[in-house]
Amino acid sequence: MTPEKTVSPRGRDAIRIVPIAAPAQLFVHVKGVAPVAPPRLTYRGGPLLAQVEVYTVYLGSAWAAPAPGKVASDINRFFGTILASDLIGGLSEYSTGSYHIASGRFIGTTILSDVEPAASVTDEWIRSKLVELTNPGSALPPPNSNLLYFVYLPPGVSLVLGGSKSCQAFCGYHDQIDGKLFYAAMPYPNCNGCLGSLSTFQALTSTSSHELCEAVTDPIPGAGWYDDANGEIGDICAWQTRQVGEYTVQLEWSNKNNQCK
């Protein structure tokens, strides 16, 4: 049983989220219950973000204060390192057709102090802001076929996706708009379910790496590399981490090695 299926609602939403961390006993198979199918990602014909370009967006004035501002700049530094690391290089086994997965780039960032989230915001709100803010002449660069916006919410703001709430059912997700705009939505992990045994910054980098690798290999959820029983590349290995330099990242499923690596 994967943690996602144990603790998250079923259905489409569950395929693109980072599930909350749950006690280890929830992951243990009950005796006599058949194990789930062994993981195997198969390609469904959709696009990949082969040379991913990450742009980070910090919503709300809270990010302009010194402490959260430091977190934001640390996240940006993390992307600078991680996009050129073996985290992305290791995804090259999922290159296919005209999509040759190679190192990505961190292309920019902005703190949008005047876009103030309410205490609880919905995915629809995030999507409408992204559409509005990527109009020509607006605050964000226009979308392209490799661009991935990482949208970070400030501490204390809940995110609601299809009736599920951050910190209760998920810790982040990625999605797309009209097959043209790709984004990840990242609530601040100030809750036990989204920290597990990690520090806040480790949880942010682990969860961000989960969504990054999923967005590269399955930018239109379920239309890229996907496993009907186990979900996307990061879902199979949720909450298993390793270090890349100073950064904590999540393990990702490798078809080639038949394990999380």
Distance of closest approach, residue 223 Cβ to Zn ion, in angstroms:
15
Per-residue mark of binding to Zn ion, 180-219 (x: CB under 5 A):
----------------------------------x-----
Select the residue interacting with Zn ion from 13, 175, 218, 235 (CB under 5 A): 235
Select the residue interacting with Zn ion from 234, 239, 247, 254 (CB under 5 A): 234
Q: Under the criterion CB under 5 A, does residue 227 sit at the interface with Zn ion?
A: no
Nearer to Zn ion, 152 or 239 (CB): 239
CA 104 to chain centre: 15
Q: How far apart are CA 261 and CA 213, in angstroms?
A: 12
Nearer to Zn ion, 175 or 214 (CB): 214
Backbone angles phi, psi at 24, to 5 degrees: -55, -30
Q: Under the criterion CB under 5 A, does residue 252 sit at the interface with Zn ion?
A: no
Distance of closest approach, residue 31 Cβ to Zn ion, in angstroms:
28
- Output the six-digit token pair for 200: 């806040």
Nearer to Zn ion, 141 or 222 (CB): 222
What is the contact surface with Zn ion in residues (CB under 5 A)?
A: 214, 232, 234-235
